[in-house]
Amino acid sequence: MINPNFDTIQVKIIDKAFYAEGNIHYPSTAVVSFFDQHGRYLFATDYGYLPISKVYELLDDTGEVNLDYAYIHNFSATAYRRTRLIPKTESIEIKKLSAKGALLASEFEIDFSFLKLANSDVDFTECCFASGDLTFKHSIFGDGTFDFSYALVKSKKVDFSNTQFGSGLKSFKNAIFSDGIKDFQYTDFGQGELNFVNTEFGGGEVSFINSNFNHGDVSFKVARFGDGKVDFHFAKFGDGDISFERTEFGNGLTDFKTVEFGSGKVNFNRAVFGNGEVNFEGSAADGRVTFKKTAFGTGHLIFELAEFENTELNMEKAILGDSEVSFFNGKFHTLVLKGCHLNRYVDLRVKQCHEIDLSDTVVRDIIDLKPYQNEVLLHILNISGMRLLGTVYIDWKNNHVLQLIKNQHKTTLAEKAEQFRILKESFNKAGQYSDEDDSYVWFKRYELLSDFSVSKHKSKVVNILKYPAYAFKKLVFDYAGLYATNPVRVMISMAATYTFFSLLYVLILSLGFGGIFSGLGGEHNAIGMVGRSFFFSGVTFFTIGYGDFYPMGIVRVLSLLEGFTGVFLMSYFTVAFVRKILR
């Protein structure tokens, strides 16, 4: 490939034969001098020279166009049709097309439109299109290789619209396009491999609208787009793998709306997007789609209404910067944002998703999962290791938060506990105090379960002692008052405890193992055994201590225990009640 930094050329034709590799020779030589934009000389290169009239005669005689290493001025298939009285939209059938290492220039348009080739190879490797627009529109190429690699295109407009390719390799590898429009609308790339690896698209709009990539592998790996709009709207891919790995997109709109990615793997890993909007709205895929370590700018990133219900969309450690991200009303099987820094609003109100993985994320703004008009159908939500500096908008009941975390199969009990704790903090920030209480209860439950499960791996003595300790904590802290989040529950526990001790006194008195006697006279015993038991239990439970009845025997020990229990539960109730009131 020649140095691409030239701006204009000057051509001098000399009467000297030109010879090139492959037994190619021309009767004359074109000495082409290259100049920069300031008119300064850069370098010169020799090419074979063939007048355009001779090229058209070759088309007439053999149907072959071999322009290898030649300088061709004003080649135009449209002009050829006009001079031969062929309708302007009628295809010209040719047997061969090659311009390897050639230099083509025109004051108007370098025109390869409406050509029809058999299954021979087409070779434009290292070809330089020095001036004039370039068009291949409506041309039909067979199943041979179409090689545009290392081509240098200085044209302001490149038109491959409605071009059809066969099943052979299509290679634009290392091609360089200047600023301007690159139009691949309605292009059919056939079934074979398509290679845009390391292609430089330059500034200006690049359009693959309604292009059909069929079932071959497609690679834009390390390709570079300028600041113009990059538009794949309505494009269709098939079963092949698609690679945009380390591709650089400019600051213009990058539009993948309603693209059908097919069932192959789609790879945007380490790609770099500029500050323009990146839009995958309504796109569909059946294969795995990855954006690992992909860098986004400040524009919106949109996956709204995406149809990825059988697909994992993996954005692990993607650099989202200041992008607002929306997955609103989209369908996904798995959505992975693990390890991302979410600095702006993220809309996760998906229509349907089996699992959303937000583990190890850093959240500085809002993550929105709360359903409003539409239900959010989600099976698993993983927020283990999240650093929550912002807020997660989620509803305990409507989002079925308990099941979202319970359904996790790959996280430990401790990790589940930590997730409930994170949600507790978020609910507190959002003023959802009832949801905060629910989350706190399950945080403490899983924390207790985690501690208990860890002890099973210790000595047998420790394991034996752990069971009663676990049962005590479960009874007192959980069942009695839901970890001081429910004062009504504490009151019920108080009533149940009081009744339990009262009935226990009745049983002891009836069996003669102890007694409750009046210290003021026999007339006080007239209330009967049941009455004495319930009255004494109430005085003891609430630590009133009238002293008109006193215990004997085993009742003495039980009354001490009941007194302590009463003080504890009344304090428990006070904490739970004040906690509710203060919030």
In the chain, DSSP finds a helix count (H) and a strand count (E) of: 9, 46
DSSP assigned state of 91? P
Measured distance CA(120)–CA(100) in Å, rounded: 15
Taking the C-alpha atoms of residue 501 and residue 173, their distance in angstroms, rounded to an integer, is: 87
- Look at residue 81 in the predicted model and tell me its pLDDT: 93
* 3-class secondary structure, 15: coil
Measured CA to CA in angstroms, residue 86 lies from 53, 73, 201, 203 at distances of: 17, 22, 34, 36
Total residues found in the chain within this entry: 583
pLDDT reported for residue 528: 79
Model's pTM, two decimal places?
A: 0.87
Residue among 369, 372, 324 nearest 350 (CA): 369
On the 0-12 / 13-18 / 19+ scale of CB atoms within 10 A, 389 is exposed
Do 480 and 572 contact (CB within 8 A), yes or no? yes
- 268 Cβ contact partners less than 8 Å away, ≥ 6 residues apart: 244, 245, 247, 289, 290, 291, 294
Residue 310 and residue 286 in contact, taking contact as beta carbons nearer than 8 Å: yes
Q: Exposure of 314 by Cβ count < 10 A (0-12 exposed, 13-18 middle, 19+ buried)? A: buried
Q: Terminal CA-to-CA distance of the chain, rounded, Å?
A: 73
Contact 323, 346 (CB under 8 A): no
Burial of 518 (0-12, 13-18, 19+ CB in 10 A): middle
Distance CA 211, CA 46 (A): 38
Q: What is the DSSP letter of 504?
A: H
Instruction: Give the pLDDT score at 523.
Output: 58
In angstroms, rounded to a whole number, what is the distance separating the alpha carbons of residues 521 and 419?
A: 62
- Alpha-carbon span 344 to 211, nearest angstrom: 34
The whole-angstrom separation of Cα 347 and Cα 379 is 17
Cα of 524 vs its chain's centroid, Å: 78
Q: What is the predicted pLDDT for the residue at 470?
A: 85
List pLDDT tens digits, range 276-313: 999 999 999 999 999 999 999 999 999 999 999 999 99
Q: Which two tokens stand for residue 530?
A: 């049941």
Residue whose C-alpha is closest to residue 538's, from 508, 559, 510: 559
* Contacts (Cβ under 8 Å, ≥6 apart) of 118: 93, 95, 142
Query: Would you state the pLDDT for residue 460?
Result: 65
Low-confidence ranges of the chain (pLDDT < 70): 1, 455-463, 519-526
pLDDT at residue 124, as a whole number: 97
